[in-house]
Amino acid sequence: MKQPRPLVITNGRLVLPTGVTDGGVRIVDGNIDAVGDVSAADGDEQVDAKGRLIAPGLVDLGVFAVDKPAFHFGGITRAALMPDQSPTLDLPARINFIAKSGKPDLWVHPLAAATRGLAGKELAEIALMREAGARGIATGRQWIADSGTMLRLLQYAAMLDLVVVTHAEDAALVGDAVATAGEMATRLGLPSAPAEAEALAVARDIALAEITGARVHFRQVTTAAALALVRAAKKRSVPVTAGVTPAHFMLSDLATGNFRSFAKLSPPLRSEADRHAVVEAIADSTIDVIASGHDPRGAEDKRLPFADAAPGMAGAESLLAMTLTLVRDGVIDMSRAFAMLAAKPAELLGVNAGSLEAGREADIALVDPEKPWIIKREAMAASASNTPFDGQPAQGRVTALYKGGVAVA
């Protein structure tokens, strides 16, 4: 998708790494040409932002489906796709196909399966998949239980300079659990696992990252104990980063009180104390990335007894609005919000996007941070409407979206 002529967006509020400031942006040949006090040249297309935020398009790290209408609604211009597909993304040809699948108005960055079939045993052809377009490696929805396999994976990833996106739950402790052990799981009679299952997995992978020097990204860290381990590892300069979805800073296991399967997630919702620990970890930068965890599930997967329902939520459309609640609550500022939603994911994936800087690819969202709306599953653009935020009032909407300087929403 080629930009037909230069575009100048003026009269906005630029979301920059250093803060929010008045100004605009000029885009030429799909790239940002200038940021700040810009003016149109002869022949430029002009857009008046009318005081709205001019922000980088979101880079969603770790989605389970390519859902273009939902992504565009949510301001997402790039998405890193998890390898848990059918078939699994464990061969170069599959990676190559996925890397081209969303273009031109959405770029999908496939994450290579760490092991063949995501079985956690034999390493996949990671170097060949990198050549085919993989931007990282992922263990999928499962933790690699064999420490020897994980060590070899991280050694290989360090050599290739690819980030490893890992799921942090000790599978032997989790078993068939569908909830976090505690009062709520006991009241509901649900099979549960201790929250420490996450901390054990994080501790093991931090130790291996420290040995190998590999970059490890914990896709979701949701408990106080595991967050303390990540915080300590960062102080030792271990190359680890952590992510979370809005569900784990907005909701606790109280949301499962009526066996509502839309609140069945992986990892499961935690205690209220852990939820507060997640918010604190966002505030002190222990958590680096906020992602949607977008995993649309239809009625055949969700309209089941809680223990039998599939985990996951359709999170792309509510990602920005839920993150902006942290800004309004004073937990983070606007620049930090977009660093977590765009700049840091782009950095981890090694793509030239995620911030408003000259030379970056022009993935840009115009955002009205005060626009009120109500999340209604029947009105969602996603391929399935399994949101735990159904009926919740929200503030903040993308009003225009540009991919490479071309309007896509």
Domain with residue 194: its CATH number is: 3.20.20.140
| Omega prior to 194 cis, within 30 of 0 | no
300 Cβ contact list (under 8 Å, min separation 6):
none
* pLDDT, tens only, 343-353: 999 999 999 99
pLDDT of 105: 93
Neighbours of 381 (CB within 10 A): 17
User: How many Å is the Cα radius of gyration of the chain?
Assistant: 21
How far is it, in rounded angstroms, from Cα 378 to Cα 265?
Answer: 20
At 138 the three-state DSSP class reads strand
* pLDDT, tens only, 375-384: 999 999 999 9
Q: Let me know if residue 77 belongs to a domain.
A: yes
- The H or E element that residue 397 is part of is strand 393-403
The maximal CA–CA distance of the chain, rounded, in angstroms, is 69
Q: Let me know if residue 141 belongs to a domain.
A: yes
Two tokens, residue 379 = 């009105």
Q: Which of 287, 304, 294 is nearest to 388 (CA)?
A: 294
The length of the chain in residues reads 409
* pLDDT, tens only, 61-99: 999 999 999 999 999 999 999 999 999 999 999 999 999
Q: Let me know if residue 307 belongs to a domain.
A: yes
Contact 340, 323 (CB under 8 A): yes
* pLDDT, tens only, 116-149: 999 999 999 999 999 999 999 999 999 999 999 9
pLDDT at 1 over 80: no
Q: Let me know if residue 132 belongs to a domain.
A: yes
How far is it, in rounded angstroms, from Cα 213 to Cα 155?
Answer: 8
How far is it, in rounded angstroms, from Cα 226 to Cα 224?
Answer: 6
* pLDDT, tens only, 296-336: 999 899 999 999 999 999 999 999 999 999 999 999 999 99
- Domain of 167 in residue numbering reads as 57-353+384-392
* pLDDT, tens only, 181-213: 999 999 999 999 999 999 999 999 999 999 999
* Mean pLDDT in residue range 254-261: 93
Q: Let me know if residue 31 belongs to a domain.
A: no
Q: Which of 375, 241, 261 is nearest to 308 (CA)?
A: 261
* Mean pLDDT in residue range 155-174: 97
DSSP 208-251: HHHHH---EEES---SHHHHHHHHHHHHTT--EEEEE-HHHHH-
Q: Let me know if residue 11 belongs to a domain.
A: no
State the DSSP code for 373: E
| Alpha helix (H) residue ranges in 102-146 | 126-132
pTM (whole model) above 0.95: yes
Half-sphere exposure of 316 (CA within 13 A, CB side): 34
CA distances from 192 to 132, 195, 242 (A): 40, 9, 24
* pLDDT, tens only, 38-63: 988 899 999 999 999 999 999 999 99
pLDDT above 70: percentage of residues in the chain:
100
pLDDT of 254: 96
Specify the number of domains making up the chain.
1
pLDDT of 2: 83
51-64 as b/e: b if 16+ CB within 10 A: ebbbbbbbbbbbbb
End-to-end C-alpha distance for the chain, whole angstroms: 14
Q: Let me know if residue 226 belongs to a domain.
A: yes
Q: Let me know if residue 36 belongs to a domain.
A: no
φ/ψ of 183, rounded to 5, equals -60, -45
pLDDT of 381: 92
Two tokens, residue 129 = 């998949």
